[in-house]
């Protein structure tokens, strides 16, 4: 079973994203309300198969989470998503180590 950690400070967006992902019977989701909480959930033996994170969040934003994950768990794929996206942000996300970038409007 593929495990996906969805990180977003908006409860509504977390429900929307997990609802889309949970349509696949072979995917399981876990959620966190910001990057700091998400990073605390990570550790040896507890890693998901993918982290899907929002950009704008309190305490630790998406770019900071990408940096921390890639520093401590370099093989863990991270996709950054945001509602206020731009080409510049996509480039920045990839530069700090994100494996991909997707505007929330195109997430489905």
* Beta-ladder partners of 30: 5
Written as six digits, the tokens of 46 are 């507890």
In this prediction, residues 79-97 reach a mean pLDDT of: 83
Residue 3 is predicted with a pLDDT of 96
| The predicted structure's pLDDT at residue 85 | 66
Q: For residue 36, count CB atoms less than 10 angstroms from its CB and return exposed for 0-12, middle for 13-18, buried for 19 or more.
A: middle
- Total-model pTM: 0.92
pLDDT averaged over every residue in the chain: 92
Q: For residue 94, what are its two tokens?
A: 């990839």
| CA 83 – CA 69 distance, rounded (Å) | 22
CB < 8 Å & 24+ apart, contacts of 82-88: 82/54, 82/55, 82/56, 84/55, 84/56, 85/55
What pLDDT score does 93 carry?
86
33-76: per-residue pLDDT in tens? 999 999 999 988 889 999 999 999 999 999 999 999 999 999 99
């Amino acid at each position: 079973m593929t495990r996906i950690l969805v990180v977003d400070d908006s409860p509504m967006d977390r429900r929307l994203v997990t609802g889309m992902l949970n349509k696949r019977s072979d995917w399981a989701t876990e959620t966190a309300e910001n990057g700091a909480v998400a990073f605390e959930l990570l550790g040896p033996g507890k890693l998901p198969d993918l982290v899907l994170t929002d950009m704008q969040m309190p305490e630790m934003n998406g770019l900071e989470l990408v940096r921390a994950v890639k520093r401590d768990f370099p093989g863990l794929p991270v996709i950054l998503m945001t509602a206020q996206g731009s080409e510049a942000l996509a480039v920045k996300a990839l530069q700090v180590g994100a494996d991909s970038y997707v505007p929330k409007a195109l997430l489905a």
